[in-house]
Structure formats: structure tokens, C-alpha cells
Chains A and B, each alone.
Chain A
């Protein structure tokens, strides 16, 4: 083993500060799209980085890029978050959006594009919303999303396209 062990023992390392600076906005925005609530987004971002920090020795480059590994932790954190809060929040959000869509006056109260998008995202299925969050929140390519989710790249493209169409129709 020793030839390769020379490299193994040397334990190539990455600059954690650089990783933090690069990935923090992506993870944070992933949660903004995934969960909608900025406070939850901060909490879940903290959870993600703390888990990644504690488990950094488990990261293996052969299993994918560092960002893919980080977003696996982020996606799991989102799942745990929803599991802990279900069923009240998603249903309540959905009801709120449905009511808003039915009432033009309420629609006018959605003053900004951000408010409007935040209100529409919960109308998507869980899977579609996650892909939208990865695509437009984390700014991942379809290929990276495919690696992170296990879906094929073409499947990711199709799902994202349909989800965007659905949002556009309700905008």
C-alpha cells in the first residue's frame, strides 16, 4: 500500500474557511426556497454546517464533490425539519396560499416578487420544491442536482421545467 499510503497519510486537506465562504450563501438560499421562513433558513443552515464540521472526516471525495456531500446533509436537515413540524405547517401554508389565490385583495397584499414566490413554493410537491430550491436557491446545475438526488439529469430537467411552468401559471 505504501505508495498510495504516502498520499493517504498526507491527508489532503481543504481550506475550511474557503468552503464556508463559498457554500454558506448557497446552503442558506437553498433553505430559503425549501422552507420559506428566513429564521428557519438560518437555523437549518447552522445545523447543516455544524453537522458537516463534526462529520468532516466522513467526507470522501470518491463519493462526490464536497458540495454534493454538504447538500446531502442540508437535504436531510430539511427532511428532519419537516418531519418534526408536520403536518401543521405545510397544510397551513397550503391553506394560506389557496386562500390568497382565491382572493384578489389578498393577492395585492403580496407586495414583492419575493413574497409572491414564497407563497407559491408551498403549492409545489415536496420533491418539486426541493429541486427548485437546489436549482434556484443553491444555484446548482441539473447535473449536480442529479448527483445529489440520484435522479437522472434529464429527469431533473423535466421536473424543474414542469415546476417552473406550474409556478408561472400561478404567478
Chain B
């Protein structure tokens, strides 16, 4: 008898079994694995820097605890901020979970659920969803999901924030010391996600209430905004000037990724929004095989987004026909 052979049981799966199983899976609806973080976790990770830092301002509208409710009824403005691949790599290179993970407390976390009808979506989401009355020729609705309500609390740690900024090469920025130990609350209300398909072209229409960040009273939002803009790669002078000129309670910063080829402001009805466009690159040939676009706008206290690979004119027609 030889030595204990702990690998003795290992075998390659029978190829026929592997192929049978693969075929069985393929028979089910074409599937994709959501690889991204839970929406709230994304918020939490970003907001870990944010709560004390200004990245929060790229997320939900921000309101101070002591502020009036007026801000809630204003329409929000979208401001596109181009982000270079260097900036993206710089932020991605940070081990944010290690740096600030223990400062984020998830208070409520609910997964998205698939629903079978707009009526059911209304019940689950708690508001009446809108649907386009005009669809491009050959377009069908493929499904509706309602995202869960998610709430997180973030405790600011100015020492950690300073470490993050130093790691990003932003040592010249001052961290508001009065934030240390203060908490910010982020609430993401249920959002309805409706899928459409036009042959190979897809669209995802997202709608829901404005997510909110509740910040401690007395916070200098312009200072946080400046930090957020610098993290996104904006030059110091420009960030300072811009931060002071913006009403941060009602402004969404939209980082425009490097793969985007263009972005511009637009109107959906009478509401201002932005459009970001970019190419779809074939994984194998690396050739362009079409375009993607993202349309964002707000109306009546809700935010709307359509991300699609359809023609932009068709997307605009859908957005303008919501009812």
C-alpha cells in the first residue's frame, strides 16, 4: 500500500454529462449573472469614501438634516463629469472595503424581485410606474423587476478619508474635521426596471424615487463636492469654482466613463436630462459592432434612465411617450 493519495478521487466530469447539463441550462431563458455589487453595496462602498468625502455627491441628492423640504420637490440637475481611464484605475486600485468597510452598516437590504405585470410592480414598488406608449417596430417587453429598498448608515472617519485622499494623490485637499464620527444615512427606495428587446437590441428602463443621502447638519456641501470632483479627476481650480456654483442638494454628478464617445444635455418633454453614448466592442474581433446609449432625466421627484443598444432616436421616442 502506497502513500495516502488525496487526489485519487478527482476526475474530469464525463464530457457527455457536461454537455447535457450545458444544453439544459441553455434551454432556460438566456441568462446573465449580475456581477455588479448590490446597488446598496455599491452605494455603501462609494459612500464610505463619500459620507465624509464628496463622492456622496455623485450619488443621491443630498440634503442636510436641518434643511427645508423644498429641495425634495425641485427637479434635479444632471452634470456630466468625464472620467479618464487613469482616474478609474486610480480609484479602482484602492482597497476601499479594507479602508472603510467597517464604517458602513447595512440597515436594510432587499433583493430585486421579478414581477409579472405593471400592476404587480406598482404594488411592490409603492408607486405607479410609467411605460412608453410608443415602442420601436418589433420591440417587445421582456420582463419587469422591482429593486428592493436598501438603507445603509456610514460613519465618517476623517483619518481614513485622509488616507484615501493621500492614496489618490490628493494630499492638498483638506478634510472637514467636524465630520469625524458623524453619520450619514443612505436610502435607496424600490426602483422598477423594465426590459425591452428589439431583436438583438436591448433596453433597460429604470424608474424610481430619488435615492437620498441624509447628511449631518452643518456640513459644508461645497467642500465635500470639491473633494468628490477632485476624486473624479477634475483639476483643483476648476473643482473649487464648480463646487461653489452648484446647488449640491439637487445635483447629480454623472461620471462619464472613458469608453463613452460623447455626452450632451437633452430634453425629455420639458425636463432636462443627459445622454451618454459609446461604442459596443466585439469581444473577439475588437471591432465596433454598434452603439450603446444612456439617457438620464428626472421628473416630479423621480429619476428615470434608459440604457440601451437601440437607436438613440428610438430611445428618445420611448422616453417622450411615457404615460
Contacts and interface: CB of A to CB of B under 8 A. Distances in A.
Nearest to A112: B8
B67 interface: no
Secondary structure at the B interface, as helix, strand, loop or mixed, is mixed
B34 A117 contact: no
B28 A5 contact: no
B307 A53 contact: no
Interface string A135-157: 01100000000000000000000
A105 interface: no
Interface in B3-53: 3-14, 17-18, 21-22, 24-25, 28, 31-39, 41-46
Contact of A2 (B10, B22, B78, B114): B78
B41 A6 contact: no
A45 interface: yes
B32 A13 contact: yes
Interface string A18-44: 011000110011001100001000100
B15 to A, nearest CB: 11
B248 interface: no
B8 A66 contact: no
B167 interface: no
A57 B45 CA distance: 20
Nearest to A46: B21
A10 to B, nearest CB: 6
A4 B4 contact: no
A6 B210 CA distance: 14
Contacts of B31: 16, 53, 56
Contacts of B188: 1
A100 interface: no
Interface centre among B3, B24, B37, B255 (most CB of A within 10 A): B37
Given A14-B33, A164-B6, A60 B41 contact: yes
Contacts of B294: 6, 9-10
B11 A32 contact: yes
B287 interface: no
A167 B206 CA distance: 56
Contact of B58 (A4, A20, A33, A59): A4
Contacts of A59: 33-35
Contacts of B276: 6
Nearest to B60: A1
A100 to B, nearest CB: 13
B13 A6 contact: no
Given A2-B78, A3-B58, A9-B307, A57 B10 contact: no
A136 B13 contact: no
A115 B186 CA distance: 57
A8 B36 contact: yes
A112 B114 CA distance: 50
A125 interface: no
Contacts of A113: 2, 5, 8
A66 B33 CA distance: 10
Contact of A7 (B8, B28, B36, B303): B36
A98 to B, nearest CB: 18
Contacts of B239: none
A114 interface: yes
A6 B4 contact: no
Interface string A41-85: 010011001100110111111110010000000000000000000
B161 interface: no
B204 A9 contact: yes
Given A8-B42, A32-B10, A54 B28 contact: yes
A25 B12 contact: yes
Contact of B305 (A9, A45, A137, A167): A9
Contacts of A58: 111
Contacts of A50: 24-25
Contact of B13 (A28, A57, A114, A116): A28
4 tightest Cβ-Cβ pairs between the two chains A and B: A3-B58, A62-B41, A113-B8, A1-B211
23 contacts: A1-B210, A1-B252, A2-B58, A2-B59, A3-B255, A8-B42, A9-B206, A9-B307, A10-B294, A10-B307, A12-B36, A25-B13, A28-B11, A29-B10, A32-B11, A46-B24, A60-B41, A62-B42, A62-B44, A116-B1, A136-B9, A137-B9, A167-B4
